[in-house]
Amino acid sequence: MSAAVVTPYTVPAGLMDTLQVTVLVLVAAGAAAVVLTRRLVRQVLVLGAYGIMLAVLFLTFQAPDVTLSALTVGAVALPIIVLLAASKTRKKEE
Partner 1 sequence: MRPALRRWVFLAGAAGLVAFYLWGLSGLPGFGNYPGPYGPAILRIAVAQTHATGVVSAVNFEYRGFDTVGEEFILFTAAAGTAIVLRMLRGERERPPADEARDRDVPPTSGAVRTVALMFTGPVVVAGWWLASHAQANPSGGFQGGVVLATAFILIYLAGEFLTFRRLSPTAIADAVEAAGAGGFAAIGLAAVCLGLPYLDNFLPLGQIPGAVSSSGTIALISFFVGLEVAAAFILIVSELLEQTLLIRHGGG
Partner 2 sequence: MQVFPFIVVAWIAGVGLYGIVTSRNLIHQIVCLIVVQSSTYVLLLGVGYVTGAVAPYYYDVPVHTPAVDPVVQALALTDVVVEAAVTALLLSVAIQAHKRFGTLDPHELAEFKG
Distance of alpha carbon 85 from alpha carbon 12, whole angstroms: 45
Task: Decide if 50 contacts 33 (C-beta within 8 A).
Answer: yes
Cα distance between residue 29 and residue 51, in whole Å: 12
Q: Which does 41 bind (CB under 5 to 8 A by kind): partner 2, partner 1, none?
A: none
| Beta-carbon contacts of residue 24 (< 8 Å; ≥ 6 apart) | 57
Footprint on residues 8-47 left by partner 2 (CB under 8 A): 8-10, 13, 16-17, 20-21, 24-25, 27-28, 31-32, 34-36, 38, 40, 43-44, 47
Residues 54-73 that bind partner 1 (CB under 8 A): 63-65, 67-69, 72-73
Alpha-carbon distance of 61 to 83, in angstroms, equals 29
In 3D space, the residue among 90, 91, 73 whose CA is nearest the CA of residue 81 turns out to be 73
- In the complex, what is the shortest distance from the CB of residue 83 to partner 2, in angstroms, rounded to a whole number? 10
- Judged by CB under 8 A, the residue of 6, 8, 88, 93 near partner 1 is 88
* Binding-site ranges for partner 1 (CB under 8 A): 1-2, 4, 63-65, 67-69, 72-73, 76-77, 80-81, 84-85, 87-88, 91-92
